[in-house]
Chain A
Amino acid sequence: MSIVTVQLGQCGNQIGFEVFDALFRDSHCSQGLCSKRENEAYQASCKERFFREEESGVPVARAVLVDMEPKVINQTLSKAGQSGRWKYGQHACFCQRQGSGNNWAYGYSVHGPKHEESIMNLIQKEVEKCDSLSGFFIIMSMAGGTGSGLGAFITQKLQDQYSSSLKMNQIIWPYGTGEVIVQNYNSILTLSHLYRSSDALLIHENDAVHKICAKQMNIKQISFRDLNQVLAHQLGSVFQPTYSEDGSFPYRRDPLGDLMEHLVPHPEFKMLGVRNIPQMSENSLAYSTFTWAGLLKHLRQMLISGAKMEEGINWQVRPPLSGLPPLGKMSVHKDLHLNTSVANLVILRGKDVQSADVEGFKDPALYTSWLEPVHAFSMWKTQRAFDKYEKSAALVSNSQLLVKPLDMIVGKAWNMFASKAYIHQYTRFGMEEEDFLDSFTLLEQVVASYGSLGP
């Protein structure tokens, strides 16, 4: 089954390119550490999901590129074309002349309705070229105007038009110390709308990815390209093929469906985060060896302590021994707060994967009380190595991890809203203060829900 990707705005398009590039490079990588037949099945599965064939023989990404100004799309198209390995469809993009001005209201209320037909037509054409549609993967940022506002609008239209297909939105959270001054407004408006119309929100924070680049990858002068490549690596480790459980067809057919089924059991809890280890520069990789036991131990602790990367994990956080009530003092201390999960998915790729022991992730103390670990936890695996890492372990988690960042954004936006600063920029395009209040209310609810997960 195929996934149609919609890349929105500068961020969406820049990242989208890196994602397709990472998927393609990995699927054609010669160091798969598996048999030729295995490799070919992997390649075919990846191709079915993300690429299609054209007469020229060069694979075409199953993607629609949308932006309200032309510079980024032009760059993206030429970068893909230049590589010679894969490319974007010739007529797969929609572009305008004047951007959205970092204005969510402009993206949602002006660009949205104006270009709805054209954009939905483009998407329809891409959908028609799939034998069977798993769903949509929408890449966008929250801080700007196009990705955020138009992204929210398009997701809503996708829900209306393709109600039986799944939608996952890949959302980029901006750096805490501004990239855009009105980013907090744009963020709360985006999140509240997506919460109603999307099936899952896969979230990446620029701050977290930046730290990975600095500490794990040891990059000195970090560029957006570096950030995007780390992100693409993480997404690739989730979306590349893995064995299906029942063993019917070597690789899973419906990646989005499976993800949703395992990770979003309840509509109130839609925020997902990804962690992937090991992640290091190619130079360091040559000198490192890994064991599954080691990797899984780290990954589990990252989950429990809410860490976003391997370096600096807080080992003090421990789940209470099962059966015993939690120690009163521990749960009060902020630093020792146990990150409670709704659901987790561990994805293992590489050598000797069948020997990996994931029992540690089935501890009921890690999960909220209304789901048994057998329902809350799942594991996918393949022995085909990913992106030259002999072993790699990814964790997709629906947990309290994103509550603090969300809470901060809501707090800052609320603070600004109280002074009414910048509101005139939104109301001039048809929005009202009520719309802001609705968004705040919804998100406070989400914060409260996630907060109440713990013991």
Chain B
Amino acid sequence: MTQSVVVQVGQCGNQIGCCFWDLALREHAAVNQKGIYDDAISSFFRNVDTRVVGDGGSISKGRISSLKARAVLIDMEEGVVNEILQGPLRDVFDSKQLITDISGSGNNWAVGHKVFGSLYREQILEKLRKSAEHCDCLQCFFVIHSMGGGTGSGLGTFLLKVLEDEFPEVYRFVTAVYPSSEDDVITSPYNSMLAMKELNEHADCVLPIDNQSLFDIISKIDLVVNSGKLGTTVKPKSLVTSNMGAVTKRHKKPFDAMNNIVANLLLSLTSSARFEGSLNMDLNEISMNLVPFPQLHYLVSSLTPLYTLADVNIPPRRLDQMFSDAFSKDHQLMQADPRHSLYLACALIVRGDVQISDLRRNIERLKPALQFVSWNQEGWKTSLCSVPPVGHSHSLLALANNTCVKPTFMELRERFMRLYKKKAHLHHYLQVDGMEESAFAEAVSSLSALIQEYNELDATKSMPVPDVPRLSVAM
């Protein structure tokens, strides 16, 4: 079994990270009734005897003593991390795995990347190495950060390069929160653009998320919950939106529900690697199957169902609805419509009491309405994990490598150009040591090249499938 390390950077990254650890604990507590430290838990947690001073406290088997998250928390302000350390999750984090500063990055990518990057490089490296040493077989780094700010965006992408150099064999999966169009940070287009270049070059896989989509999903759920139309069909205490029963009993913060969705995404992504099932899928298989060309590694995700259902044995009609929803644009975690764009590849990660025939039936049913690229007409990767998420009997995570990400990138470029043409706020960046104006030009050109790739693929949409002549053999 392999382990993963979560690196949460900046305010957004740490808040999502916090939700993730809370959920992970709950999930493992629900599955692991006997309190034995097993391979599944060890994928995200260490087992430590806290009475031992120094490093020697790791326990590899037997009863759970004290669980420590395999995490590195980085923020250039203290507020968020301090809150975490004072909150109910404080014992889950190893105080030695934190890097904080006081002044913050001022929503400036250059400060995050160049200033704090060079300042904290050694420390970051040391913490990462430590966390890697604690793993038998480290498979993946999950990096969580926002794109629009300064720390997450700048320092988060700085450490991608560090990870690539120091741990070339370990996968780098980035969960990046893109700014929505009403974002209040004026410089967010600059930060996002500069960060994009780093993601293009140094990430194995990126799961773009945007706040607007998360907000819309939460609103929809709230609407149904509050309208009282539910009857027995919706449990308001589902893991997706609710903190009930959580370790943390803090007041509901505005982003909590939204962060919970992202946390669920990460748990579902790794479910088949942690728990057993009839068709397992490890993290290295995600990269292998969903990234046909190295630059095209942006995956649009959708999670269903968002409501729990009362019955345990769901008649196929309801189960099928779960599959249909996964392809609707209202369930995507970013503003995208995969149904009307071109699929390069698609993965369906199913959890719970679902069998191969249910999966096949739904693929056959939904396939005709979806457009796949000509060289990958049957581009489906599937996995079945027996263990459902807490509070649900089954769930589905769909990951799509689809040209529907293009509009988001194009809009980003447009917003960037509006600022850049007027050189607005540029001096804040250029006055940072090591930051050149060429960085901006390079970033735009990197994004434009990516958009061009998607354009070329889209152009093949209406064309008939090319008939590639086969090798002919002499008889």
**Interface bits B286-301 vs A (CB < 8 Å: 1, else 0):** 0111111110000000
A-B contact pairs, 13 of them (CB 8 A): A71-B280, A97-B1, A98-B137, A102-B285, A178-B381, A181-B289, A181-B290, A182-B289, A223-B357, A224-B356, A414-B468, A416-B376, A420-B293
A441 to B466, CA, bound (A): 21
The answer to whether A421 and B378 touch (CB under 8 A), given A97-B2, A214-B357, is: no
A411 to B466, CA, bound (A): 12
The A408-433 residues at the B interface (CB cut-off 8 A) are 410-412, 414-416, 418-422, 424-425
The residue among A14, A213, A415, A424 with the most chain B CB atoms within 10 A of its own CB is A415
**Interface bits B1-13 vs A (CB < 8 Å: 1, else 0):** 1100000000000
A214 to B1, CA, bound (A): 35
CB pair A71 B473 closer than 8 Å: no
A17 interface residue, CB < 8 Å from B?
no
The answer to whether A444 and B284 touch (CB under 8 A), given A177-B364, A177-B378, A222-B357, is: no
CB distance from A379 to the nearest CB of B (A): 33
CB pair B278 A224 closer than 8 Å: yes
The answer to whether A415 and B139 touch (CB under 8 A), given A70-B39, A103-B288, is: no
CB distance from B60 to the nearest CB of A (A): 13
A206 to B385, CA, bound (A): 19
A448 interface residue, CB < 8 Å from B?
yes
B101 interface residue, CB < 8 Å from A?
no
CB pair A181 B381 closer than 8 Å: yes
**Chain A residues closer than 8 Å to B381, beta-carbon distance:** 102, 178-181
Residue of B nearest to A176 (CB): B378
CB distance from A372 to the nearest CB of B (A): 23
CB pair B473 A448 closer than 8 Å: yes
CB pair A440 B378 closer than 8 Å: no
**Chain A residues closer than 8 Å to B276, beta-carbon distance:** 71-72, 75
CB pair B375 A415 closer than 8 Å: yes
CB distance from A146 to the nearest CB of B (A): 11
**Chain A residues closer than 8 Å to B292, beta-carbon distance:** 421-422
B380 interface residue, CB < 8 Å from A?
yes
A250 interface residue, CB < 8 Å from B?
no
The B453-473 residues at the A interface (CB cut-off 8 A) are 466, 468, 470-473
B363 interface residue, CB < 8 Å from A?
yes
CB pair A179 B382 closer than 8 Å: yes
CB pair A179 B287 closer than 8 Å: no
The interface of chain B, by Cβ under 8 A from chain A, is 1-2, 39, 136-137, 139, 276, 278-280, 282, 284-285, 287-294, 345, 355-358, 360, 363-364, 367, 374-382, 384, 466, 468, 470-473, 475
CB pair B376 A452 closer than 8 Å: no
**Chain A residues closer than 8 Å to B367, beta-carbon distance:** 177
**Chain B residues closer than 8 Å to A410, beta-carbon distance:** 470
Residue of A nearest to B383 (CB): A179
A309 to B10, CA, bound (A): 60
**Chain B residues closer than 8 Å to A448, beta-carbon distance:** 473, 475
**Chain B residues closer than 8 Å to A270, beta-carbon distance:** none
From the candidates B279, B287, B470, name the one contacting A411 in the complex (CB within 8 A).
Answer: B470
CB pair A70 B1 closer than 8 Å: yes
**Interface bits A16-38 vs B (CB < 8 Å: 1, else 0):** 00000000000000000000000
**Chain A residues closer than 8 Å to B378, beta-carbon distance:** 176-178, 412
From the candidates B363, B380, B473, name the one contacting A445 in the complex (CB within 8 A).
Answer: B473
CB pair A102 B289 closer than 8 Å: yes
CB pair B356 A414 closer than 8 Å: no
**Chain B residues closer than 8 Å to A101, beta-carbon distance:** 282, 284-285, 287-288
A-B contact sample (19 more), CB < 8 A, given A418-B375, A444-B470? A70-B39, A97-B2, A98-B137, A99-B282, A101-B288, A177-B364, A179-B279, A181-B289, A181-B379, A182-B289, A221-B357, A415-B374, A415-B468, A419-B374, A420-B293, A421-B293, A421-B375, A422-B291, A424-B294
**Chain B residues closer than 8 Å to A421, beta-carbon distance:** 292-293, 375-376
A210 interface residue, CB < 8 Å from B?
yes
**Chain A residues closer than 8 Å to B357, beta-carbon distance:** 210, 213-214, 219-223
CB pair B293 A72 closer than 8 Å: no
The A188-219 residues at the B interface (CB cut-off 8 A) are 210, 213-214, 219
**Chain A residues closer than 8 Å to B475, beta-carbon distance:** 448-449, 452
Residue of A nearest to B3 (CB): A97
CB pair A419 B375 closer than 8 Å: yes
CB pair B355 A178 closer than 8 Å: no
A-B complex: 3 closest residue pairs judged by Cβ atoms:
A101-B284, A222-B357, A178-B380
A94 interface residue, CB < 8 Å from B?
no
**Interface bits A154-187 vs B (CB < 8 Å: 1, else 0):** 0000000000000000000001111111100000
A178 to B289, CA, bound (A): 11
CB distance from B225 to the nearest CB of A (A): 31
CB pair B471 A179 closer than 8 Å: no
CB pair A175 B473 closer than 8 Å: no
**Chain B residues closer than 8 Å to A72, beta-carbon distance:** 276, 280
The A67-126 residues at the B interface (CB cut-off 8 A) are 69-72, 75, 97-103
CB distance from A73 to the nearest CB of B (A): 11
The residue among A69, A71, A220, A224 with the most chain B CB atoms within 10 A of its own CB is A71
CB pair B355 A222 closer than 8 Å: yes
**Chain B residues closer than 8 Å to A66, beta-carbon distance:** none
A225 interface residue, CB < 8 Å from B?
yes
A344 interface residue, CB < 8 Å from B?
no
From the candidates A176, A181, A225, name the one contacting B376 in the complex (CB within 8 A).
Answer: A181
The answer to whether A181 and B345 touch (CB under 8 A), given A101-B287, A103-B288, A221-B355, is: yes
A14 to B471, CA, bound (A): 36
**Chain A residues closer than 8 Å to B288, beta-carbon distance:** 101-103, 145, 182, 422, 425
CB distance from B1 to the nearest CB of A (A): 6
CB pair B360 A175 closer than 8 Å: yes
**Chain A residues closer than 8 Å to B358, beta-carbon distance:** 221
CB pair A14 B137 closer than 8 Å: no
**Chain B residues closer than 8 Å to A214, beta-carbon distance:** 357
CB distance from A426 to the nearest CB of B (A): 10
Residue of B nearest to A446 (CB): B473
**Chain B residues closer than 8 Å to A177, beta-carbon distance:** 360, 363-364, 367, 378, 380
A368 to B300, CA, bound (A): 53
Residue of A nearest to B358 (CB): A221
A304 interface residue, CB < 8 Å from B?
no
CB pair B356 A14 closer than 8 Å: no
From the candidates B284, B290, B379, B384, name the one contacting A178 in the complex (CB within 8 A).
Answer: B379
A227 interface residue, CB < 8 Å from B?
yes
CB distance from A30 to the nearest CB of B (A): 31
A180 to B284, CA, bound (A): 13
A416 to B471, CA, bound (A): 14
A325 to B77, CA, bound (A): 88
CB distance from A375 to the nearest CB of B (A): 23
Residue of B nearest to A428 (CB): B294
A6 to B378, CA, bound (A): 31
CB distance from B34 to the nearest CB of A (A): 15
CB pair A181 B380 closer than 8 Å: yes
A441 to B474, CA, bound (A): 10
**Chain B residues closer than 8 Å to A420, beta-carbon distance:** 293
From the candidates B278, B285, B375, name the one contacting A223 in the complex (CB within 8 A).
Answer: B278
A10 interface residue, CB < 8 Å from B?
yes
CB distance from A118 to the nearest CB of B (A): 17
CB distance from A215 to the nearest CB of B (A): 12
**Chain B residues closer than 8 Å to A97, beta-carbon distance:** 1-2, 136-137
CB distance from B223 to the nearest CB of A (A): 33
